[in-house]
Amino acid sequence: MHDIRLIRDQPHAFDAALARRGLPPEAEAILQLDEMRRASIADAERALAERNAASREVGSARARGDDGEFERLRALVAAKKDEIGRLEAEAATTDAALHEMLMGIPNLPYDDVPDGPDERANVELRRWGTPKGPKEFGFKPREHFDVAMFSSDASGMSGIIGAKLSGSRFTVLYGSIARLHRALAQFMLDTHVNEHGFKEVWTPVIVREDVLKGTGQLPKFSDDLYQLTDGSWLIPTAEVTLTNIVADEILDEAVLPLRYTAHTQCFRSEAGSAGKDVRGMLRQHQFEKVEMVSITRPEDSRAEHERMTACAQGILEALGLPYRTVVLSTGDMGFSVRRTHDLEVWLPGQGTYREIASISDCGDFQARRMNARFRRGEGARPEFVHTLNGSGLAVGRTLIAVIENGQEADGSISLPPVLGPYLGGRTRVDTDGRLA
């Protein structure tokens, strides 16, 4: 949501920021609606003052016995009452139209976000680790769904059973692979809580419509979500629930920053996706993610963004997974964000980096939609907080990266040592699918 006062004061700057996203100007249309709304409100206030004045004079006219003036004033009061109702209805209609327009306009990028139409304009910030290829492996590395034991319906993964139960892009995990998937989520949560200072939260995965509006998934992206028959929705990420914890709250400055983390199921229809990503677990309708959310003062959000990026990078480094960090261009950014860092993990089966986490600074955009504020001291005017969110990490994609980077020629998998405590001290999956 945008501050209408800023659009009034700097309409050209607002349109210039939209142009960086490849969008047409909106300030003129917004300000026309705003002027109509304000004019209706002002006219209603004038009509109310005139009605009140006439109401006061009605009694005096009757006391004087001035029947003509009495009838005129009484008719004026009735007419002004009707006029006020009409003007207030006009103001409400225009206000609703203005609100709907503002709700559909994406956030404005920070000045240092690279300009560009799509992911080709993203800028690499850093790399970590050495990507392995056929030379380092001593064989042509396979994609996760072609690793011998992982492709087994009995001991690894089955898209066939997933489709039987739920349709395409659903997967069933078995045995040691299911346990490895669970271990990764536990490791991520423990790291974020014990080392990164986040508070673990368990939240629902079914939410009301206004909750999704607060974080920006609705009304614009309903086709990407799953809606239940009672009108509620399945969450696409725990960003939705964690961020809305502070909706309609006025927080004390002393409690900021708030840092939350949660492990949840996530649901996305992703109707437009196609190609080989539908094979295996890379792109699923139902998946698990460990999410990070921070609520900060405005002046702290940029530093918090870097901190959250480092937290997600730390998970990949602990797992020994090579990755690169990129800042997304204006044409590749999400709807609610001002700046996003993507972490892309190396997948040797594909011979490329693939997104495994996005960490975003939303400024006060979501806070305005949720009416989430804080107060710097007693008697101070409430201000909007800044909200940030990030994957820490996507569990299924991390599983894919662990399998592909740890695969051996015989189809077994060497696992990162940090997962040993979560797997009974075992750090290998043998070709028969057993942990060893």
3-state secondary structure 413-435: EECCHHHHHHCCCCCEECCCCCE
Cα 248 to Cα 278: distance, rounded to the nearest angstrom: 40
Q: Distance between CA atoms of 11 and 19, rounded to whole angstroms?
A: 12
Catalytically annotated residue among 355, 375, 428, 434: 355
The architecture CATH gives domain 119-429? 2-Layer Sandwich (3.30)
Class of domain 4-103: mainly alpha
| Local structure of residue 253 (DSSP, 8 states) | G
Residues 51, 302, 397, 404: which is the catalytic one?
397
Single out the residue of 157, 141, 120 nearest to residue 350, CA to CA.
Answer: 141
User: Which pLDDT tens digits describe the chain residue by residue (436 residues)?
Assistant: 899 999 999 999 999 999 999 999 999 999 999 999 999 999 999 999 988 888 888 878 777 777 777 778 888 888 989 999 999 999 999 999 999 999 999 999 999 999 999 999 999 999 999 999 999 999 999 999 888 565 555 568 888 888 899 999 999 999 899 999 999 999 999 999 999 999 999 999 999 999 999 999 999 899 999 999 999 999 999 999 999 999 999 999 999 999 999 999 999 997 545 555 667 888 899 999 999 999 999 999 999 999 999 999 999 999 999 999 999 999 999 999 999 999 999 999 999 999 999 999 999 999 999 999 999 999 999 999 999 999 999 999 999 999 999 999 998 999 999 999 999 999 999 988 889 8
Domain coordinates of the chain in residue numbers? 4-103, 119-429
Looking at residue 152, what DSSP letter applies?
A: -
Closest residue by Cα to residue 329 from 104, 26, 25, 20? 20
Catalytic residue selected from 51, 283, 307, 369: 283
Q: Which of 21, 37, 169, 268 is catalytic?
A: 268
Known active-site residue 268: yes
- The whole-number pLDDT of residue 390 equals 98
Tell me, yes or no, if 355 is annotated catalytic: yes
- Cα–Cα distance list, 79 to 86, 422, 430 (Å): 11, 76, 86
Q: Which of 358, 360, 391, 412 is catalytic?
A: 358
The per-residue pLDDT for 152 is: 55
Q: How many angstroms separate the first and last alpha carbons of the chain? A: 52
Q: For residue 111, count other CB atoms closer than 10 A to its CB.
A: 9
Residue 397 designated active-site: yes
Phi, psi of 223 (to 5 degrees): -70, -20
Contacts of 166 (CB under 8 A, 6+ apart): 285, 286
Question: Which strands, in side-by-side order, build the sheet including 250-252?
Answer: 250-252, 373-375, 383-384
To the query of whether residue 304 is one of the catalytic residues in this protein, the response is: no
Read off the pTM.
Answer: 0.92
How many whole angstroms separate alpha carbon 84 and alpha carbon 46? 9
Is 60 known to be catalytic?
A: no
d(Cα 430, Cα 436) in Å, to the nearest integer?
Answer: 7
- C-beta atoms surrounding 346 within 10 Å: 25
